[in-house]
Every structure is written in C-alpha cells, then in structure tokens.
Structure 1
Amino acid sequence: MRWRLHLKSYKQRFKLFFLILCLTVFHNEYFVYWYDSMRWPSVSCLHLENQQCQRILIVSDPQILGIHEVFGWIAYTDSDRNLQKSFYYALHYIKPDVIIFLGDLMDEGSTSTNDEYEFYKTRFSKIFDTSQFQSKIIYLPGDNDIGGEGTDHVTQNKMERFNSNFPSETESITGNAQFVVVNRIIGDFSLPTVSTIKDKYRIVLSHIPLTFIPGIFSREVMTKLKPNAIFSAHDHRIAMATTKQNDSHYFQVDNFTEDSVVIKKHLNDEDCTEVIWPTCSYRMGVEKSGYGFATIGNDGLVEIGVLWIHSRFWSLHIYLIVIASCLGLCVCMKYLKHFTLKMSNQPSISC
C-alpha cells in the first residue's frame, strides 16, 4: 500500500514540474516574441494603405554562428531560432518593399571552407525566409564575410563567393529611393548612371560607418555621390548623425532615447543623415538588439526607428532558475519525506 502512495506522490510531483516547464517554454519561445511586437512603434506609413511610401527593413550584423563556436551545435541552434522568430515578426510588421542586409551575415564566413560556407548559406536562407513577400533584397558584405580585419585579408575568391551566394537586386528596385552600395573595406564604390537618379532620394549603404569615421574614402563618397542619407552597421549599436553637404565640419549627433521612438526627417540636398543600425543578434555582446526600419514618402519624409527585441540571455536565465528551483524543491521534498518517516518510526516514550 505504501509503494502505491509513493508512486502517486511522484506522479503528482512530476505533473507539477512538467506544467511549470511547459509554461516556461511557452513564455520564452513564443509569448515574448509576440509581446515584443506589441511594443514596437506605430508608424503612420505602415497603417495607411493609400499612402505612398517605400518600406525598408534593415538587418544588421546577424553573424550567424559557425560550427567552431564554443558549445557548437547548442549555441548556433539557439541563436538561429532566436533570429528566425524575431525576423518573422519584424517581416510581418513592416511588410517591406526592400530588405537590406548590412553585412556580417556570418560569423565565420571569411575563414570557412566551401563546404562550411554552403552549410552557413543554407542556415541563413532558412532563418531569413522572405518567400511570403515580394521584397527586393540587397546584401552587403562585412569583414566577417570577406575579410579585412587584422590578418584576415580580403581576396578576390572571397568576394566572388559572397556575390554568387548573395546576389543583390539593387537595379530592379522601384520607389522613392535609389540605393548605392559602397565598400569601405576595400575602398571601392561605383557611381550610379544619371538615368537612375532622377526624382529619387539617394541612400548610400555601407557596412562600415562613413561620416562617423572621417577619411579619404568617406569624403569621396560625400563629394561624388552626394547622398541624402547613409545606412551603415558594424558597431552593433544604434547611432545617428547629420552632416552638411557644404560644411565638412558640421556634425550633429542624435540619439534614440526611447524604445518606441520614431524619428522623422525630411530628406534634402543640403544635409545628409547617417544611421548606424544595431545588431539583430543577442550573441554580439550588446545589451539591446533589434531590426531597423525606414519609410520614405514621396515628399521626402523619412521615418526611422528600431524594432527592439528582448534579451535572449534573460530567457536563458529563466530556464536556469526554473530548472534549479524544480530540482531544489524535489530534493527538499524528498528529504522532508525521509525525515518525516524517520520521526514516525521512532518508538513513543510513555511515562
């Protein structure tokens, strides 16, 4: 009879722990992503069907982990799932006309073998699945994709491998903006043809920031391309500054002070605003990560902001706390039961 009571007690305990674990998984793997999307900023262009504007989603420094990462399969699988779920919500929130990947698509892209590169490309395509939309896509190479940092040199083979696996659709994009890709890593950029720039606002795309890091290359871009705006990445944190086309000493820094802030600016030929977009990966060692967005109206009004996502480390800490608490409670209950049985089996003392 006693063993049946023990079995029933263990079953009840198991059901309780299983319920707690299921609720934790639901919270960490589903609820928090939905909750993030409920807190994202409201943008007028996104909610008015008859308003003419170009919708842009910016993905910066995803750096999907390589097979040589510490903890290997466990680390990159968790990171992949986090990127895939957050990107799904960002994609359906913005419904972009253009998706821009601002470089560092892979963490070990530059140093990988061809077989490893193919494996990373397959994972990348699964994570950032855009098949449900007709969005045009622009890919920029970063230093982790083609080299250029330290002793990891850029080579022609690395450039060709990236371009063949990640072809951009820059020339086929229609809308209010003309996108020009520059590569500060190798100091190469091409001027657009005159026929493609009429009545369009010019946005220069660069993996490495330009106006934040003055130099010969950035001056050449500003002088010859005369961009209305610059989108860059690399630093993993959000930053924005405005410069004057005719005053190289003018440099005004703006900040995103709130999670739900949307900054509005009118593009013009007198100044240029550069936005450094934050990384979308929690593995980059920053406190906050997210996806950038921009909308450009026919009148030159641009609305920019960030779709911030929760810290995955916070969710992992919840897992550890719940598992440790359940194990600790189980041990305590077992010890308490053992102590109770021991006390009940002691002979009573009668006077």
Structure 2
Amino acid sequence: MRCRLNLKSFKQRLKLFFFIMCLAAFHNECFVYWYDSMKWPRVNCLQSEHEQLCQRILVVSDPQILGLHEFLGWIAYTDSDRYLAKSFYYALHYVKPDVVLFLGDLMDEGSTSTDDDYQFYKTRFSSIFDTSTFKSKVIYLPGDNDIGGEGTDHVTRSKIERFNANFPNQIESVYGNIQFVVVNRIIGDFSLPSVSNVDDKFRVVLSHIPLTFIPGIFSREVMQQLKPNVIFSAHDHRVAMATTRKNDSRYFEVGSFVDDSTVIKKQINDEDCTEVIWPTCSYRMGVVKSGYGFATIRNDGQMEVGVLWTHSRFWTLNLYLLVIVTCLVLNAFSKCFKSFL
C-alpha cells in the first residue's frame, strides 16, 4: 500500500513539474517575443491615401550567426538561430518594410570558413532572415567577419567574390524617394563608386564601419564626393546618432536615444548629414541590449528612426535553470517532509 501511495505521489509531482516547465517554455519561446513587440515605439509614417507616402526601412546589424566551432556547437547555434528567427519575424511584421538592410557581419566565421561550411551558414542565414512575406528589396553589406579586415584576418579577392556570389548586391539602388549607395571602408581602397546624380532622391550611404564617428580620408571623401543626406552604419554593436555639417568639418552634434521607446525625428536637408550607428540584433555579441533598427523617410524629407529592442535570451535561459532547480528542491523537500511524518 505504501509503495502504491509513493508511486501515486511521485506521478502527481511529475505532472506538476511538467506543467511548470511547459509554462516556462511558453513564456520563454512565445510570450516574451510578443511582449517585446508590445513595447516597441509606434511608427507614425503609414502608407495610406490619407498620409504622405514614405519608405519603411528595417535595419539588421551584425547578426553574426554562430559558426560550427562555437562552444557547445549545434546547441549554441541552434538556440541563437531560433532567437534571431523569431525576433526578426516580429520586427518584419511590425515594420512591414519596403527595404531591408543587412549592414554586415552576417556570419561570425564567414571570413575564415571553408566553402562547404560557408554554404551551410548561407542556408541557415536564408532560413533565419526570410523576407519573402513582404517582397521587400534587400541590400547586403559585407563586414569584417564576412570578408576579413580585422587583425590578422586579411581581406582577399576570393573572400569578396564569395560574399558577392552568395549575397548579390548593387553599389547603387533606388527605391521610392531614396537612393542607397554602398561604400566599403574595410578594403582600404579610398576610391568611391560613381553614382548617378538624382536630384529628387534622398541619398543614404550604407557602410559597415562608421564614417563621421571615425574621421579620416575615407570619411572626408564620402562627404565631399557622395554628399549623403543620411549615413547608416553598424560594427560597434551600439546605437548612436550624430549630425555633421557638410560645409563645416568641425560641426558634430550628437543625438541620443533617451529610452527604449524613443523615436528621433529629423528633417533631411542639403546642409546636414545624419549618421546612425545601429545596434547588433544578436544576444551573443557581449552587449546588454540588442535589437533591430527602423527608419521611415517621407516624401517631404521627414525621417523617423528608432530601435526595436529585444529581450535578453540569457535571462530566459537562466529562468529555465531556476525552474529546474526549484522543482528539484521541492521534490527533495517533499520526500524529506514525508519521511519526517
């Protein structure tokens, strides 16, 4: 009889612990992503007959999908892939972008991988960042983790050609009221692309490495030759904004994102250039906060920018650990209590 009671009690505890784990899994794998989206700032620029037309831009910076040589291997990259895929899905459906910008460092081991591994990373990347829902125009930039350029990992022609073959792109792209121009500060070549001069378009220069934040010959040539209205960059894994005056190299006004729901409004003009550094969207980059950037540019030059911050995956992983430990402690306490009685 005692054995039957103990077995029945064990089954009841097992059912309770299983229920608690299911609640934790629902919270960590579903609820938190939805809750993130509920806190995101509202995008005022809507494409309807009652609003001025604008272009919606979703910015993905430094996703750096993990490689095969990562600690814990497939467990680590599978969990990271799932986090990126789910958070990107919500960001994509929130912004409903006309253009999606991938500002470099698409892969963590892209520059040093073999061709076979590279194709495996490319397949994973395409699965994670599926943009087919909205048929958005997609622009890819190479980062130093994709083609080299950091430390002893040198840039080579074969790395550049491999990236371009897998992520085909154009130096100049025009969409709606925006002319996008891609520049590459990594390769050490100060020559800039020849682009068409479109007077009725706002010129947005795209660079993996920040330009106006890091003064130099290349930055000066970009400002003088391309005359950008806006610069979008990445690499630093943080969010920052600054405005420079095209005819005054000493003018440098820094803007700030005061809280998570901040939306900064800027009027694009021919005298100023605003650069935005976008944060990484990966929780594995050693930063406290990660997220996706968004920008909207209306036909009259009114630009709104903000960040769609996402939750810390490490916090939810620790929650799993806390639930498991709590269940084990309660189970042990229950056995001790029965033994005492």
Tell me which interval the TM-score lies in, with the shorter structure as reference length. over 0.9
2:47–2:54 CA contact under 8 A, matched in 1: no
Q: Who is 1:348 aligned against? A: none
SS of residue matched to 1:24: helix
Structure 2: unaligned runs, 5 residues or longer? none
Tell me the secondary structure at the aligned position of residue 19 of structure 1: helix
Which has more radius of gyration?
1
Q: Specify the alignment match of 2:117 in structure 1.
A: 116
Q: How many angstroms apart in 1 are the aligned matches of 2:90 and 2:46?
A: 14
Taking a change above 3 Å as real, the CA distance of residues 171 and 119 of structure 1, as seen in their structure-2 partners, is: same
Deviates more, 1:185-194 or 1:304-313: 185-194
In structure 2, the CA distance between the partners of 1:46 and 1:10, relative to structure 1 (3 Å rule), is: farther
Identify the residue that residue 319 of structure 1 maps to in structure 2: 320
Aligned residue type for 2:101? I
Q: RMSD of aligned C-alpha atoms?
A: 1.2
**Do the aligned residues in 2 keep the contact of 1:46 with 1:94 (CA within 8 Å)?**
no
Q: Which residue of 2 aligns with 1:29?
A: 29
Task: Give TM-score, length-normalised by structure 1.
Answer: 0.94
TM-score by length of 2: 0.97
Greater mean alpha carbon deviation, residues 15-24 or residues 44-53: 44-53
Deviates more, 1:70-79 or 1:82-91: 70-79
Task: Figure out how many residues of one structure are paired with residues of the other and give that number.
Answer: 338
- Are 2:336 and 1:335 equivalent residues in the alignment? yes
1:172, 1:41 → 2: CA distance?
A: 28
Matched, 1:238 2:239: yes
Alpha carbons 1:136, 1:169 under 8 Å: kept: no
Q: Deviations over 1:108-146 (max 9, x none)?
A: 000000000000000000000111111000000000000
Shift of 1:187: 3.5
Take 1:187 and 1:172, find their aligned partners in 2: how far apart are those partners?
23
Q: How far has the Cα of 1:193 moved from its partner?
A: 1.9
Q: CA offsets per residue over residues 81-128 of structure 1, 9 Å max, x none?
A: 000000000000000000000000000000000000000000000000
Following the alignment from structure 1 to structure 2, what is the Cα–Cα distance between the partners of residues 151 and 174?
38
Which residue is 1:68 aligned to?
69
In 2 relative to 1, CA 49–83 (structure 1 residues): closer, same or farther, beyond 3 Å?
A: farther
Alignment partner of 2:258: what SS?
coil
Partner Cα separation in structure 2 for residue 70 and residue 47 of structure 1: 45
Q: Cα–Cα, structure 1 residues 170 and 216, in superposed 2: closer, same or farther, change >3 Å?
A: closer
What is the match of residue 346 of structure 1? Answer: none
| SS at 1:334 equivalent | helix
1:48 CA displacement: 4.7
Q: Residue 43 of structure 1 aligns to which amino acid in structure 2?
A: V
**Is the Cα contact below 8 Å between 1:240 and 1:273 reproduced in 2?**
yes
1:193 aligns with 2:202: no
Q: Which amino acid aligns with 2:262?
A: V
2:5 is aligned to: 5
Q: d(CA) in 2 for partners of 1:191 and 1:276?
A: 24
Alignment check: 8 A CA contact 2:104 2:141 kept? yes
